[in-house]
């Protein structure tokens, strides 16, 4: 049985922006955080959901109905 993907509210914002084609720099500017904060959030998201790329993160985000 598949595990339900887990995203914090900030991670949902970040993955939404990734799905829209934003780079880490653009995400950081949009959310008024550092690029390192964006990377840290993505690393945590990857670990929590067993994914290893931005594309996989967007895929599970979309499949979970966050689109």
Q: CATH code at 55?
A: 1.10.10.10
- pTM comes to 0.86
The count of structural domains within the chain is: 1
Residue 3 in domain? no
Domain that holds residue 14: 9-63
Residue 2 lies in a domain: no
Helix/strand/coil percentages in the chain, nearest 5: 65, 0, 35
Residue 33: pLDDT above 90?
yes
Q: Is the pLDDT of residue 55 over 60?
A: yes
pLDDT surpassing 60 at residue 1 = no
**Are the CB atoms for 58 and 18 separated by under 8 Å?**
yes
pLDDT at 44: 94
């Amino acid at each position: 049985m598949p595990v339900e993907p887990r995203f914090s509210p900030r991670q949902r914002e970040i993955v939404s922006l990734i799905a829209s084609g934003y780079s880490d720099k653009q995400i950081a500017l949009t959310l008024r955080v550092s690029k390192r904060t964006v990377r840290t959030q993505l690393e945590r998201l990857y670990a929590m959901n067993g994914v290893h790329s931005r594309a996989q993160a967007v895929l599970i985000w979309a499949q979970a109905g966050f689109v």
